[in-house]
Structure 1
């Protein structure tokens, strides 16, 4: 899995939605999926960043991507229902979803927890992907095989001091994956989580400001696991807590 060797065009005729596709791991995943033949739907809050990824995909000669500008913090269930209907109308089905968008928030002692910030973190990291997945499941089931990837974290598998709401949201993400994977067991839809590990991203720099970013792997370097879960090789992989490093 960590050494997965992608074959040219192995994602041909597949449509994959990536959230938080404007930068970091989401951007890297979108570019990789497109590189191997997928039609990528780029979802994010900042249109300028999405357009930059869109242009890069088009310039590479990969299939024409699509853009969905959406702020997960303010999105309603109806927004996701409308989005699912649009995807079905334009593409017929959906082969994969990478739930990558996440909010870190401020780290600190539990007694200093800011409830308003926690509500935002839970909305973006848990409620939004739950509502989105609920709306997209009928479209995913129309694909010959489909993969849902939730993004976890080391602090979502073992709690760590001062990581508060973010860690709590990632524990919830792991639980959501397990519930959905159990429901999808034996169907054409697989559901798993990936812990990307220490990666050279803006979020990592915010959490570890004193860390040398050059000591970390780039987002592109951890892509084998993300590609593997969208491949036919992973058809029987369901309910697993995977790591990209």
Structure 2
């Protein structure tokens, strides 16, 4: 393992409360559910090694991973299979995942164990706290937000994660040239994302203005996405790079 804990540090007993320390509208509903026995055991074994918390403060990715490498952040990794697929396919890169739902954290840690992955670390707190309190500026090469809650009712659109203020905070964590990759299977949300990103200072579309991107080969297709495709649902990818 590359990030052994400081024996003098306070004992890390697990993820913190996911309630954000920032004021604002929460973009997720906490549906904890139950961990399976396998997820629970993987969590108990591997959280002390792969878990990160607010107590770690502003991290130095080189110390966390024990090397300097391309650094990816996935916000809301769900059950973690896609993140594990990406990490396994690119062992030369490092990946930080953020997910507030504990069964998903347990599922990812089980994938990490089963595949012997060393290039994954996990936060189980609000992504806003990770961005504001844990990641130094210009440390990320890529940020991924795949299939966030669409909050499809119009009165709930204010809860959507992809908003101008959030995008600007992400921008400061990306290096110049770094990529923000968004994907959704809700057409209305894709239009909202495109509007936000097209107006966002310091970002440029990797495609022509207003154009969606083909799915990159390194974004795995999820079971949920495959089922949607069979039902005729579309999927929209947006890739924008930081210009300044």
**TM-score, normalised via structure 1 length:** 0.50
**TM-score, normalised via structure 2 length:** 0.50
